[in-house]
Amino acid sequence: MPYVLDTAVIPLPDRIEAIRTAMLHASAPCHVIHEDPDGDIFCRMELWDLGNSNIFISRSSGIRLLRTAKLARQDAMPVVALSVQQRAHGHLDQHKHLQVVPPGELLAVDLSAPYDYSWSGDGAAGCIQIPSDQLGLPIDVIRHAIHRLRASPLYRMVTDHITNLTRNPARITADPTAAIVTTTSIELTRALLASADRTERLARQVLAETILTRVRTYVRHHLADPDLTPGRIAAAHNISLRHLYKVCADADISLEQWIISERLQSVWHDLRRPDKRHLPVAVIARRWGFRDSTHFTRRFKARYGFSPAQWRRSCEETPPS
């Protein structure tokens, strides 16, 4: 079950203490300072377990989280947070680096060290919090890399991944594949930090070790592109087509068939959705990269045992649970 705080159901005089207590539970111990302590303070926090990590989402009125050196000395387990700013500009001061992060961009915080993080007005952010020992990187590499994330070629991929994680954590954490999502998130974070650190030998090693994870993440983010080809995937990862096929073969994966399978699964989900019922099946199929409707219908029926139209009708006839 997730941990959720929503001050909408808490009397205004009690909100400051409720937010302080919730922040202590959800993230690192810190001083919680409100931009306007006498104003209309509000906050909604969600904390979702994701295996060895967790997903933390917060939206609130203007706030400052100040972690002092004294508070930092109280923690034994270093944790790294990768956060995508959702509303307002985030301001982070840590390790003598000051960053201003607009909505849609990524920042990393060493939660075991002192920091000063804030936003003004109605702000929000969503992050994944990972214990540093899960990353398999020296702590000095992590602390150097967190201020250089944009130097990594994986910056946008990881930003998109975390954005997707925090968009619907209930569905992700409840899915049987949540353990795979955990591993993927940790591996992507490891690759991001290693490549941002620019220690050449370490970066090469980690990028080689995480290539399959990165390929699969890239494919999932580009499933709707009908021009997604093995050649394009290889080029995006600076590897040869031959090496791409070898990596997949070593994992017992047929790349082309796996892409079709992922696309079929996406169409299957969309055909269940009430808000998509006004769209023809062929339109939904095209949106997931199927240019040939006959080929799509044949593949869908071969996988699920019924046509797309039959599946949609069965969903419409079944009352929601």
Output 137 or 15, whichever has higher pLDDT.
15
pLDDT of res. 75: 67
Residue 140 lies in a domain: yes
How many CB atoms neighbour CB 293 within 10 A?
15
Residue 318 pLDDT more than 70?
A: no
Q: Give per-residue pLDDT as tens, 58-68.
A: 999 999 999 99
pLDDT of res. 166: 95
Residue 235 lies in a domain: no
Is 91 in contact with 102 (CB distance < 8 Å)? no
Residue span of the structural domain in which 138 resides:
3-221
Residue 304 lies in a domain: yes
Count of structural domains, the chain: 2
- Average pLDDT taken over every residue of the chain: 90
Looking at the structure, do residues 168 and 274 belong to the same domain, yes or no? no
Looking at the structure, do residues 154 and 294 belong to the same domain, yes or no? no
Please tell me the distance from the alpha carbon of residue 92 to that of residue 107, in angstroms, as a whole number. Answer: 8
pTM of the shown model: 0.77
| Locus of tokens 């591996």 | 187
Looking at the structure, do residues 179 and 92 belong to the same domain, yes or no? yes
Please tell me the distance from the alpha carbon of residue 131 to that of residue 79, in angstroms, as a whole number. Answer: 4
Q: Give per-residue pLDDT as tens, 288-305.
A: 999 888 999 999 999 999
Residue 226 lies in a domain: no
Residue 320 pLDDT more than 80?
A: no
Residue 149 lies in a domain: yes
Residue 206 lies in a domain: yes
Residue 228 lies in a domain: no
Q: In what order do the strands lie in the sheet with 53-60?
A: 3-6, 43-50, 53-60, 123-131, 79-87, 106-110
Q: For position 307, which CATH number holds? A: 1.10.10
Q: Which residues, 6+ apart, have CB-to-CB distance to 279 below 8 Å?
A: none
Is 63 in contact with 123 (CB distance < 8 Å)? yes
Please tell me the distance from the alpha carbon of residue 288 to that of residue 77, in angstroms, as a whole number. Answer: 42
Q: Give per-residue pLDDT as tens, 205-228.
A: 887 888 888 898 899 888 888 889
Looking at the structure, do residues 282 and 165 belong to the same domain, yes or no? no
Confidence of residue 321 (pLDDT cuts 50, 70, 90): very low
Q: Give per-residue pLDDT as tens, 119-146.
A: 999 999 999 999 988 888 888 889 889 9
Q: For position 152, which CATH number holds? A: 2.60.120.10
Output 320 or 70, whichever has higher pLDDT.
70
Phi and psi (nearest 5°) for 218?
-60, -45
Looking at the structure, do residues 60 and 207 belong to the same domain, yes or no? yes
Go through 103-137 and write b for each residue having 16 or more CB atoms within 10 A of its CB, e for each that does not.
Answer: eebbbbbbbbbbbbbbbeeebbbbbbbbbbebbeb
Looking at the structure, do residues 180 and 290 belong to the same domain, yes or no? no
